[in-house]
């Protein structure tokens, strides 16, 4: 995503998780103790006022979530009780499948994520963030000799700059500041730059044109017509070395989907960090669980991603060699017949997808340990 003022305005106020005492995961206790101790009386009063408003909002939010996901009245009553006890959004309770208040202890609430990320990863919130601009991202990848899609052309408000011969290949165009698959265009086979220019005529903004990437044959029966990717999150460890702390596989659920993202109805499945084996799949925003692909019947659970060790090594190498000025990065990596390929990097990778897919919170593992470490270091 580019420097979207509305997005940043929404994230400007870091919600305090409570009225007086904070109610968050134990792994964040020291962080919130520091934050509470440093507040002045005006901020403390504002936090208390917002906290009381949050408590009043919970029943209305729970009723909306109940209708959205078709849940029963018993769920709503339980969700209100848990949300008030642990200062949680009822939608998080639904999406993370929370049954008791204690279940939330290992989770990062989604409203917490931006404030935590801004503190440990401030470069991700600047205009010049190389992870928010695909053109800048690919420039860094090229300089560090990291495998990434070739740039065939760049279109800026309809003005095309050629970088390579299209050579009759299938091409895609992506907004340089797009996210979630928004604005991706399948251009088909283009034999020359004039064909690309015609396909993008009238398109505003900056788009990068690349060859359409082929999926590894071992994933063909669950990939459908969209390129599946694995979101691998790396965080700098206690001595500044990148460490893989989370991985989530994303793939299309229906034949007509052009991208694998949750916003397009894609499936997500947690990845075992040691073996690359997939867990049970689900959609990001509700629906059934899937041990096999709903469209093809192909097995999902236990399937090992091809070249998993190389995928992890690429994420670590990219972080250490070209993006060491960021503490936390979510890498979108495609597994192709030629090996893993960096599709993009994210300085604000979010916590919904990995926590929903894994059915456990990020706070209980190395993600939580390293998050707490960097929060203390940057306090």
- The string of pLDDT tens digits covering residues 22-80 is 999 999 999 999 999 999 999 999 999 999 999 999 999 999 999 999 999 999 999 99
Over residues 103-109, mean pLDDT: 96
The DSSP code for 224 is T
Task: Name the residue with higher pLDDT: 195 or 265.
Answer: 195
Query: Cα separation of 312 and 159, whole Å?
Result: 38
In this prediction, residue 4 carries a pLDDT of 58
Name the helix (H) or strand (E) containing 153. strand 153-156
Over residues 232-239, mean pLDDT: 98
Query: Cα separation of 368 and 258, whole Å?
Result: 34
HEC string for 88-149:
CCHHHHHHCCCCCHHHHHHCCCHHHHHHHHHHHCHHHHCCCCCCCCHHHHHHHHHHCCCCCC
HEC string for 65-97:
HHHHHCCCHHHHHHHHHHHHHHCCCHHHHHHCC
Query: Cα separation of 326 and 64, whole Å?
Result: 37
Q: Does position 6 have pLDDT exceeding 70, yes or no?
A: no
Q: Please state the φ and ψ torsions of residue 172, each to the nearest 5 degrees.
A: -130, 155
Query: Cα separation of 173 and 155, whole Å?
Result: 9
180 touches 174 (CB < 8 A): no
pTM: 0.93
In this prediction, residue 72 carries a pLDDT of 97
3-state helix, strand, coil in the chain (%, to 5): 40, 20, 40
Q: Which two tokens stand for residue 205?
A: 């903004």
Least Cα distance to 219 among 183, 269, 256, 172 occurs for 269
Q: Does position 288 have pLDDT exceeding 60, yes or no?
A: yes
Angle between helix 366-377 and helix 110-120 axes, rounded to 10 deg: 50
In this prediction, residue 239 carries a pLDDT of 97
What percent of the chain stands above pLDDT 90? 74
Query: Cα separation of 154 and 172, whole Å?
Result: 11
Over residues 252-274, mean pLDDT: 82
In this prediction, residue 180 carries a pLDDT of 58
Least Cα distance to 319 among 208, 249, 232, 213 occurs for 232
Over residues 128-135, mean pLDDT: 91
- Return the bridge partners of 234, or none: 244, 329
In this prediction, residue 181 carries a pLDDT of 62
Q: Does position 298 have pLDDT exceeding 70, yes or no?
A: yes
Domains observed in the chain: 5-107 (no CATH), 126-134+214-377 (3.30.470.20), 150-211 (3.30.1490)
DSSP codes, 262-296: GGGT-EEEEE-TTT-BEEEEEETTS---BSB-TTT
For residue 249, the SS3 value is strand
Across all residues in the chain, what is the average pLDDT?
91
Q: What is the pLDDT of residues 309-352, one digit of tens each?
A: 999 999 999 999 999 999 999 999 999 999 999 999 999 999 99
Q: What is the pLDDT of residues 177-199, one digit of tens each?
A: 866 566 788 888 887 888 888 88
Q: Does position 7 have pLDDT exceeding 70, yes or no?
A: no
Predicted confidence band of residue 287 (pLDDT cuts 50, 70, 90): confident
Q: Does position 1 have pLDDT exceeding 50, yes or no?
A: no
Widest Cα–Cα separation across the chain: 66
174 touches 184 (CB < 8 A): yes
Q: By mean pLDDT, which of 219-228, 257-266, 353-362 is the weakest? A: 257-266
Q: Does position 138 have pLDDT exceeding 50, yes or no?
A: yes
Q: Does position 374 have pLDDT exceeding 70, yes or no?
A: yes
């Amino acid at each position: 995503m580019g420097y979207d003022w509305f997005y940043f305005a929404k994230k400007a106020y870091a919600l305090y998780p409570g009225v007086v005492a904070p109610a968050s995961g134990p792994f964040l206790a020291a962080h919130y103790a520091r934050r509470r101790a440093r507040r002045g009386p005006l901020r403390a009063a504002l936090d208390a006022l917002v906290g009381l408003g949050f408590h009043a909002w919970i029943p209305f939010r729970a009723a909306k979530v109940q209708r959205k996901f078709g849940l029963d009245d018993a769920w709503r009553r339980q969700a209100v009780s848990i949300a008030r006890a642990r200062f949680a959004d009822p939608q998080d309770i639904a999406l993370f499948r929370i049954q008791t208040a204690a279940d939330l202890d290992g989770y990062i609430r989604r409203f917490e994520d931006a404030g935590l990320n801004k503190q440990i990863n401030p470069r991700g919130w600047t205009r010049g963030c190389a992870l928010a601009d695909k053109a800048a991202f690919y420039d860094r990848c090229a300089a560090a000799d990291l495998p990434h899609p070739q740039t065939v052309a760049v279109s800026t408000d309809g003005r095309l700059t050629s970088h390579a011969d299209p050579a009759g290949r299938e091409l895609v165009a992506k907004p340089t500041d797009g996210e979630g698959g928004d604005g991706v265009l399948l251009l088909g086979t283009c034999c020359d730059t004039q064909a690309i220019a015609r396909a993008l005529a009238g398109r505003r903004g900056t788009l990068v044109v690349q060859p359409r990437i082929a999926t590894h044959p071992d994933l063909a029966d669950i990939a459908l017509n969209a390129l599946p990717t694995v979101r691998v999150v790396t965080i700098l460890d206690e001595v500044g070395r990148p460490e893989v702390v989370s991985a989530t596989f994303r793939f299309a659920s229906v034949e007509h989907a052009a991208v694998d993202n949750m916003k397009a109805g894609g499936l997500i499945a947690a990845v075992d960090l040691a073996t690359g084996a997939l867990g049970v799949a689900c959609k990001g925003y509700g629906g059934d669980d899937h041990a096999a692909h709903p469209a093809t019947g192909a097995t999902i659970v236990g399937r090992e991603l091809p070249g998993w060790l190389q995928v992890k090594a690429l994420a670590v190498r990219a972080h250490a060699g070209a993006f060491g000025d960021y503490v936390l990065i979510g890498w979108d990596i495609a597994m192709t017949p030629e090996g893993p390929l960096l599709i993009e990097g994210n300085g604000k990778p979010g916590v919904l997808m990995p926590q929903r897919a894994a059915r456990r919170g990020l706070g209980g593992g190395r993600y939580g340990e390293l998050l707490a470490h960097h929060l203390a270091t940057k306090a």
